[in-house]
Amino acid sequence: MITLGIDSSGRAAGAAVLRDEQLIYESYLDNGLTHSETLLPMVEAALAACGLSAAQLDLIGVGAGPGSFTGLRIGMALAKGLALPGGLPCAAVSSLEGIARGIFLPDGAAVLAAEDARRGEVYYAAFRRQGDALARLCPDSVGRPAAAAPLFSGEEKNIFVVGDGAQVCYNELKGPLPLEPVPAPWRLGRAAGIALGARAAFAQGNAVSAAQLRPACHLLSQAQRERQEKLKEAEHQ
Amino acid sequence: MGVYVTHAKEETEALGERLAQELQGGGLVAFTGGLGAGKTALCAGIARGLGCTDPVSSPTFSIVNVYRGPVIFAHFDMYRIQSEEDLYACSFYDYLDAGAAVAAEWSENIADYLEEPYIAVEIEHLGGDERKITVRGAKSL
């Protein structure tokens, strides 16, 4: 089974190819947001290097956010375009899950994936490695890093922190929690993480058609949720 | 803070050209001031100062115009932007993250979401061709 993973949801873009569970190709580019110009050539290079045509793919995984509005649509459009002619199954993989799957975790260790959501907030999700599986500890969320702290209460092992919001989380939570920020070269999203997430989604029956592939909605900040609730209440009165 | 009174479109553009010197590494200029205040003339000056050669026009209908050059200049009109989702979906953050020079007309609409540092420009139409332009947050103006 050949899986193509593509990611342009964050600052870094990439393409990866898995043959079953084996990573046979990966590229990574963190050179400014030029994904509209670089992602397609990266996928082309990946397929050429692996001696594959798009028709030989079995599954396409794409980073589905949270992330940059434009970046998400670049990745989605490319995934849909590749999948449509052959009716290939696709998987919209949480970009936070992709980042978490892109690093090595010792068995039993937890990881906090965090992307900068501006004004001191982060998009975040937490996971724990259990044998070969990665268990999700919370849905993709947005808030101040402190909101994630209760997920790890009593944690004694190091909690790995990844994503471009890692530093913000580390600064705010290093007192109460044993956090270990992953070094910068391994901190951003990798297409291999997206491809691995796509395989997991496929195995759980969560693959979709190209037409059904959608980016994640923009998550609302706490302040916005409160404002919308107030507006709704006002409408009802 | 600097307060300038300009008496012709050319003078407003020249002020924009000076403002561009502060935007060579990207950054945000947030405009306040109503219709016909001269924001587009100021943006034309910024574009020239940045070395962007695409023609500058008001982004009223497009929401954002992008002018190409050594520094990309993204010129937004926030008049129809109502929420943070709108702001996200019009790619405002993407241009900021990409290191572009970004100008936002009608920044009153996004006041809750502006992050320091940025340059605030208030334009008042004094009648005729006279305009009072107040610049805050710019080092050289």
pLDDT at A176: 87
| A224-231: Cβ within 8 A, 24+ apart | A224/B83, A224/B84
Q: What is the pLDDT of residues B40-85, one digit of tens each?
A: 999 999 999 999 999 999 999 999 999 999 999 999 999 999 888 8
Whole domain around residue B57: which residue ranges? 2-136
Please give the Cα distance from A32 to B88 (Å, whole number): 18
Residues in B touching A226 (Cβ below 8 Å): none
Chain B residues bordering chain A (beta-carbon distance below 8 Å): 83-85, 88-89, 91, 93-94, 97-99, 113, 115
Residue B141 resides in a domain: no
Mean pLDDT rounded to a whole number for chain B = 93
Between residues B38 and A84, which one has the greater pLDDT?
Answer: A84
Q: What is the pLDDT of residues B78-136, one digit of tens each?
A: 999 988 888 988 999 999 988 999 999 999 999 989 988 999 999 998 888 899 999 99
Q: How many beta carbons lie within 10 A of that of residue B7, not counting itself?
A: 12
In chain B, count H helices and then E strands.
4, 7
Residues in B touching A220 (Cβ below 8 Å): 84-85
ipTM for the assembly: 0.76
Residues in B touching A221 (Cβ below 8 Å): 84
**Residue B11: pLDDT above 90?**
yes
Q: What is the pLDDT of residues A38-63, one digit of tens each?
A: 999 999 999 999 999 999 999 999 99
Q: Which residues sit opposite A124 in a β-bridge?
A: A114, A141
pLDDT at B47: 97
> Are B94 and A218 within 8 A, CB to CB?
no
- DSSP state letters, A51-113: T--GGG-SEEEEE--SS-HHHHHHHHHHHHHHHTTTT--EEEE-HHHHHHHTS---TT-EEEE
**Residue A33: pLDDT above 80?**
no
Average pLDDT over residues A13-27: 98
For residue A66, say if its preceding peptide bond is cis, omega within 30 degrees of 0.
yes
Q: Which of A127, A104, A107, A124 is nearest to A116 (CA)?
A: A124
In chain A, whose CA is at the least distance from the CA of B115?
A: A119
> Are A32 and B98 within 8 A, CB to CB?
yes
Mean pLDDT rounded to a whole number for chain A = 93
Please give the domain boundaries of chain A with CATH numbers for all domains: 2-96+189-223 (3.30.420.40), 103-186 (3.30.420.40)
In angstroms, how far apart are the furthest CA atoms of chain B? 39
CATH number at residue B80: 3.40.50.300
Q: What is the pLDDT of residues B97-111, one digit of tens each?
A: 889 999 999 999 999
> Are A68 and B89 within 8 A, CB to CB?
no
Residues in B touching A118 (Cβ below 8 Å): 93, 113, 115
Residues in B touching A68 (Cβ below 8 Å): 93-94, 97
pLDDT at A221: 58
pLDDT at A225: 64
Contact status, residue A11 vs residue A30, Cβ threshold 8 Å: yes
Give residue A235's pLDDT band: very low, low, confident or very high (50, 70, 90).
Answer: confident
In chain A, whose CA is at the least distance from the CA of B92?
A: A69
pLDDT at A217: 66
**Residue A4: pLDDT above 70?**
yes
Which of B83, B88, B97 is opposite residue A33, by nearest beta carbon?
A: B97
Q: What is the pLDDT of residues A168-219, one digit of tens each?
A: 999 999 988 999 999 999 999 999 999 999 999 999 999 999 999 999 866 6
Please give the Cα distance from B21 to A103 (Å, whole number): 42
**Count of domains forming chain B:** 1
pLDDT over 70, % of chain A: 95
pTM: 0.87
> Are B84 and A11 within 8 A, CB to CB?
no
Residue B110 resides in a domain: yes
**Residue A147: pLDDT above 70?**
yes
Q: What is the pLDDT of residues B13-36, one digit of tens each?
A: 999 999 999 999 999 999 998 776
pLDDT over 90, % of chain A: 84
